[in-house]
A and B are shown apart, each in its own frame.
Chain A
Amino acid sequence: MENIAWMAWTLPTAIFFGLLACTLAVMTWLAIAYPEAERVGVLRIPTTRGDRLFISLIMAAVIHLVWIGVVGTDTLATIPLGEESIDLSSLWLATVISLVSAVAIFRRV
């Protein structure tokens, strides 16, 4: 662990990149198991699953940044956990919106 101390890993960022790696692994498996054809959606451009994932990820980043800039990150609710408690930031709503938009993008674009 000493060798990668400069990378300054934290649990949340590790989980984030872990999920990203899982997504890419699943997409790779999908591409091998179920080869696909390009299709033209609402954007009038031919897209593959990979393109749609890319658009979804970029959208998610934009949605989160806009949320931070416009709405902010006030605490939405507090979940009591014994003596401690976890504050639930309103940023999670942006995550929910991102997931919904990802579903929409995968179906419509």
Chain B
Amino acid sequence: MDRTVNQKAWFLVLPVFLVVAFSAVLPLMTVVNYSMQDTFGNNQFFWNGVGWFKELLDPSTDLGGRFFASLWRNLFFSAVILAIEVPLGIVVALSMPRRGWSVAACLVIMALPLLIPWNVVGTIWQIFGRPDIGLLGYVLHKIGLNYNYVSNDLDAWATVIVMDVWHWTSLVALLCYAGLKSIPDAYYQAAQIDGASRWAVFKAIQLPKMNRVLLIAVLLRFMDSFMIYTEPFVVTGGGPGNSTTFVSIELVKIALGQFDLGKAAALSLVYNLIIIIVCWVFYTVMTNAGAERQPSKGVA
């Protein structure tokens, strides 16, 4: 740890910094300015201090109630899709072929959902779930299930979760597959000689080797699902009622629906802070998990 860090290279980043300043830093400063004021349009602003933050962090107010409700809803959604997508992705990756023509076919099929734009995915599932013209909705009705994502909370949640699983499980699977491919055959041969069971091979060889890609997968899926907007918005519009209104949908409702720029700015700053903290924790864990393994890597 006696390596000197030379920070001068950062000056090479100056052009990018200027672009980012215009596209991100100045807008973010504006958001900070808005969060301290109230406006009725026409570029007229009135100082409100930390008033919006007080309201936002107090669940008994309208703004705070909506913020915390959508936050818990969003965290629950992220937890559910992680609990489904990560194990499912691992299982899919493990059952994918290792060699032969089927590898390419498998990879293309797996990549297909990832290539579809968010709002198209939303539209696909919105139509898919309709009882009159949608295949899923029609079949469920014929079976006798009263499935209706427009009026039933549980159905709306199930649709949004299944849609996310359909859209993103292949990302987890592809990442895990890449991790599995990097394991040399010698490991499996050694395991075979030792007479290791399938479970032992998974626990002692495959899972540790997938550790890093899994961490990346969890980070990506958590951030994406925590910031999710388009898909549930297209399918359920945040309804029925508010049951699938996630934080970003709530934010857009406040900012563009009600044009409450001050409230929306305060909410987006807190939202941003949560995302920055989670990203930083994940990034730190990821880079340091790698650094700790470095010395032993030379031996292996």
Contact = CB atoms under 8 A, between A and B. Distances in A.
Nearest to A12: B36
A9 B33 contact: yes
Contacts of A9: 33
A96 interface: no
A50 B43 CA distance: 37
Contacts of A38: 1, 3, 5
Given A8-B45, A13-B33, 20 more contacts: A5-B43, A7-B26, A8-B30, A8-B39, A13-B36, A17-B32, A28-B7, A32-B8, A36-B4, A36-B5, A37-B2, A46-B291, A48-B5, A58-B273, A65-B270, A65-B273, A68-B50, A68-B54, A68-B57, A73-B50
30 contacts: A5-B43, A6-B30, A7-B33, A8-B33, A8-B34, A8-B39, A8-B43, A8-B45, A9-B33, A10-B45, A13-B29, A13-B32, A13-B33, A17-B32, A28-B7, A32-B8, A35-B4, A36-B4, A37-B3, A37-B5, A46-B1, A48-B5, A65-B53, A68-B57, A69-B57, A69-B58, A72-B54, A73-B49, A73-B54, A91-B50
A7 to B, nearest CB: 5
B188 interface: no
Contacts of A16: 32
Interface string B13-37: 0000000000000100110111011
Interface residues of B, number: 34
Interface in B59-76: none
Interface stretch (B89-97, B112-120, B165-173, B276-284): B276-284
B288 interface: yes
Given A37-B1, A48-B5, A58 B34 contact: no
A31 interface: yes
Nearest to B270: A65
A31 B288 contact: no
Contacts of A39: 1
A35 B5 CA distance: 6
Listed from nearest, the 8 A-B pairs whose CB atoms lie closest are A69-B57, A31-B7, A8-B33, A8-B45, A7-B30, A5-B43, A13-B33, A35-B4
B36 A35 contact: no
A35 B8 CA distance: 9
Given A13-B33, A58-B280, A65-B53, A37 B4 contact: yes
Interface string A1-43: 0000111111011001100000000001001100111111000
A6 to B, nearest CB: 6
Interface residues of A, number: 34
A32 B7 contact: yes
B2 to A, nearest CB: 6
B202 interface: no
B37 A62 contact: no
Nearest to A66: B57
Contacts of A40: 1
Contact of A10 (B2, B6, B36, B270): B36
A44 to B, nearest CB: 8
